Amino acid sequence: MLTKENNERLCRVGPGTPGSELFRSIWLPALLSSQLPQGGRTPVRLRLLGEDLVAFRDGSGQVGITGAHCLHRGAPLFFGKVEDDGIRCAYHGWKYGKDGQCLEMPSENNASLCQKMRLQAYKVREKADIVWIFMGKGEAPELPKFPWIGLPAPQRLATVWLQETNWVQGAEGEIDSSHVSTLHKSDQGIKADRVHRTWTFKDPKPQLSIEETEIGFMSIARRRADERFYWRVTQWMAPMFSVIPSAAWPIGGRAWIPIDDENTYCWDFSYVLEGGLPDAFMESVDQGRSFPPEYRYEAIQLNNGSIIDTWAPLRHRRNDYLVNREAQSGTSTTGIHGVNDQDRAMQEGMGRIVDRTKEKLVSADLSIVTARRKILDIMSSEASIQKYRELVKDGTVFSMGPVDTVEDTSELSEFLKSLPQQPGESDQLPAIA
């Protein structure tokens, strides 16, 4: 379990917190490029690290992300007019460029006054049909070199939706290998070696191991596969990125981007290294069977009153995730339709910020304990955050690949030798207060 102080330290991301400093050290996916189509003139409301922002694509095709409210009297820029070189407030006509500089003040004759007005704006890049944002100060690092980020469009898919919890709850669920055998059990999953091989459900007591890497760790689960052994390796990269194997379907990965202390953008990245995304996979996406859930794009009012434009899951806490109790009489543990819907039902049901002082952790929680320790270590001082910034500077530490394979060996050391790159020996895990 964690102390109350460490739980707060992990979860809080507002101005001046260690969490804010950590997330401002890297590029974050902010929105899909499709939310700001070329030639479109509709801004997008978003919220990141507790800041209300507005994104727009100006007439030259460039994207800007600035503070959400005009400097004059605080009017919302979402209702403003997007022009060739910026966005004009609908209230009194102040116009801002994508860098936040005020360009026009129609009611004022003093040009120097306009030059002194500058709205908060952040560095933006577009890559892999995603608008990325860097919210830190000084020189930005390179974009993370994820295995999928340079692939052609037919080989990758990025999606994003709202989760109504703190970011840590989602990230921890992502690296919890033991829950899969129970929470996601279904007739379809048992019969089809697609995302998880059938061994996942036949052996609900995996042997779990952790091998630390420079940026995080490999979460390794070994299960029996008749006379052989099923090895499944998820790569976790601090603070909240993952790359997750699939038996036959596209490789997956997630990112948990804090909207604020109590809400999160859940991002999914699916990709194949050859060919295109299978039709059967795209059908499952449309049906919300895994990631993303079934959702719709809309304006959503958060619990703090802020409004964002994003995808809202159709199954949520207010309709009990449309749980089907009859389905629970069969193979399904939950009677809830999709994998992400099942995850959110558990994670959102814990509360916006779970009280980790009351946990009773067991051996299956090894990866969660490791992740908490690593994040807390990074956030422990300005020097440790600076060390992290140096580590991610060229983006190469994020180029991790997952593993999903059946082998003869039951020995971890032998299995690791078969991997393309053998990680160094991990240190023994200290207890976390």
Phi and psi based region of residue 129 (left: phi greater than 0; alpha: psi -120 to 50; beta: remaining): left
pLDDT of residue 429: 36
pLDDT of residue 128: 98
- In whole angstroms, what is the distance from residue 262 CA to residue 341 CA? 18
Distances (CA, A) of 304 to 52, 261, 307, 322: 11, 10, 9, 25
Q: What is the DSSP letter of 240?
A: T
Neighbours of 318 (CB within 10 A): 7
Domain ranges within the chain, ordered by starting residue: 27-134, 153-417
pTM of the model: 0.92
CA atoms within 13 A on the CB side of 237: 26
- In whole angstroms, what is the distance from residue 236 CA to residue 135 CA? 22
Are the C-beta atoms of 214 and 383 separated by less than 8 Å?
no
Residue 105 corresponds to which amino acid? M
Distances (CA, A) of 390 to 226, 238, 239, 384, 385: 45, 13, 15, 10, 9
Residues 6+ away with beta carbon under 8 Å from 249: 194, 195, 270, 278, 281
Residues 6+ away with beta carbon under 8 Å from 141: 25, 26, 27, 134, 389, 392, 393, 394, 395
Residues 6+ away with beta carbon under 8 Å from 328: 334, 335
Fold designation for 153-417: Naphthalene 1,2-dioxygenase Alpha Subunit; Chain A, domain 1 (3.90.380)
Are the C-beta atoms of 34 and 129 separated by less than 8 Å?
yes
Strands (E), 272-306: 295-301
Q: Is the dihedral of CA 22, 121, 166, 179 positive or negative?
A: negative
Are the C-beta atoms of 135 and 39 separated by less than 8 Å?
no
Q: Of 166, 193, 122, nearest to 260 (Cα)?
A: 166
Q: Which residues of the chain have pLDDT under 50?
A: 190, 422-433
| CATH annotation of 27-134 | 2.102.10.10
pLDDT of residue 129: 98
Burial class (CB in 10 A: 0-12, 13-18, 19+), 72: middle
Burial class (CB in 10 A: 0-12, 13-18, 19+), 19: buried
Are the C-beta atoms of 278 and 250 separated by less than 8 Å?
yes
Residue 301 corresponds to which amino acid? Q
pLDDT of residue 193: 57
pLDDT of residue 425: 34
pLDDT of residue 187: 62
pLDDT of residue 431: 39
Q: Of 28, 50, 338, nearest to 166 (Cα)?
A: 50
CA atoms within 13 A on the CB side of 47: 26
pLDDT of residue 208: 87
- In whole angstroms, what is the distance from residue 145 CA to residue 131 CA? 15
pLDDT of residue 428: 34
> Per-residue pLDDT tens for 152-166?
999 999 999 999 999
Cα Rg of the chain (Å, integer): 23
Q: Of 266, 167, 174, nearest to 219 (Cα)?
A: 174
